[in-house]
């Protein structure tokens, strides 16, 4: 007798979409598809073979995929291998399976970094068309004026073009909170330098919906399934906002 599979609402609940009742409502509202077709209550699926989506976002972490949230310390380089022999971020997380950092933080920048072997999610988190926010706290030289903050918000001219509008707040006389959705090389540092306030210390405090103020420098933890889902939803919303 062939395996009938698992009830769809059970699979959705295990993937972090809420209680089975909530998942039944998602199905009843027509928000769930299986292999491109709108699912109905009572549907059974094989998660390892069927493509399940909620609001267009794929469901289910495929076997073998891992997701680590790392608090990168200063002096560690964001690469899988460094010819100069410096310590790399992949040396701070488990070596098996092989993983790669999502995006880059320069050696002097600290804070949250996602490390994974999920190439599709990596692309969605790093490509500017998906518009996923990254939040930084920057201690800078001098005391930025209202005009300097306004320039950062509206966009500043860099050698590779004008930056997109950013969310910027002065949280201390010489400390800025900056939220961007681009991923240019050393962008926050170059933005601050462009308005006359070079960065003294830079820490990334958020990647899309991910925060963890309790994660100490050099420490890592696996993402929960619900956090992976939240990242996928963030990339979907970002793409929709750009297209809209």
Tell me, letter by letter, the H, E, C secondary structure of 146-162. Answer: HHHHHHHHHCCEECCEE
Residue 75, pLDDT above cutoff 50: yes
Q: Quick one: average pLDDT of 186-211? A: 97
CA distances from 135 to 78, 138, 206, 220 (A): 18, 10, 5, 19
Tokens of 170: 């002065």
Of residues 71 and 229, more confidence is placed in 71
Residue 63, pLDDT above cutoff 80: no
Tell me which residues are annotated as active site: 106
Predicted pLDDT at 131: 83
Predicted pLDDT at 130: 82
Average pLDDT score, the chain: 88
Residue 128, pLDDT above cutoff 80: no
Of residues 19 and 170, more confidence is placed in 170
Q: Three-class SS of residue 39?
A: coil
Residue 16 — pLDDT band, cuts 50, 70, 90? Answer: low
Q: Three-class SS of residue 193?
A: helix
Residue 226 — pLDDT band, cuts 50, 70, 90? Answer: confident
Residue 13 — pLDDT band, cuts 50, 70, 90? Answer: confident
Residue with tokens 């899988």: 80
Residue 147, pLDDT above cutoff 50: yes
Q: CA 217 to CA 180: how far, in whole Å?
A: 22
Of residues 3 and 206, more confidence is placed in 206
Q: Quick one: average pLDDT of 120-145? A: 90
């Amino acid at each position: 007798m062939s395996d009938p599979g698992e009830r769809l609402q059970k699979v959705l609940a295990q993937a972090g979409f809420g209680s089975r009742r909530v998942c039944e409502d998602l199905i009843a509202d027509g928000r769930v598809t299986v292999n491109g077709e709108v699912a109905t209550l009572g549907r059974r699926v094989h998660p390892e073979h069927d493509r399940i989506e909620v609001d267009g976002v794929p469901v289910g972490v495929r076997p073998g995929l891992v997701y680590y949230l790392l608090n990168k310390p200063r002096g560690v380089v964001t690469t899988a291998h460094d010819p100069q022999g410096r310590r790399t971020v992949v040396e701070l997380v488990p070596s098996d399976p092989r993983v790669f950092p999502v995006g880059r933080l320069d050696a002097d920048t600290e804070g949250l970094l996602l490390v994974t072997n999920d190439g599709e999610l990596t692309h969605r988190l790093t490509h500017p068309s998906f518009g996923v926010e990254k939040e930084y706290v920057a201690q800078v030289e001098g005391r930025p004026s209202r005009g300097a903050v306004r320039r950062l918000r509206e966009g500043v001219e860099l050698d590779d073009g004008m930056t997109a509008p950013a969310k910027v707040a002065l949280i201390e006389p010489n400390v800025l909170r900056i939220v961007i959705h681009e991923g240019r090389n050393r962008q926050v540092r170059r933005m601050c330098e462009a308005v006359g306030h070079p960065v003294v210390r830079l820490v990334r405090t958020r990647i899309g919906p991910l925060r963890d103020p309790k994660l100490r420098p050099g420490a890592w933890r696996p993402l929960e399934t619900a956090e992976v889902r939240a990242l996928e939803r963030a990339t979907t919303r970002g793409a929709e906002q750009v297209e809209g």
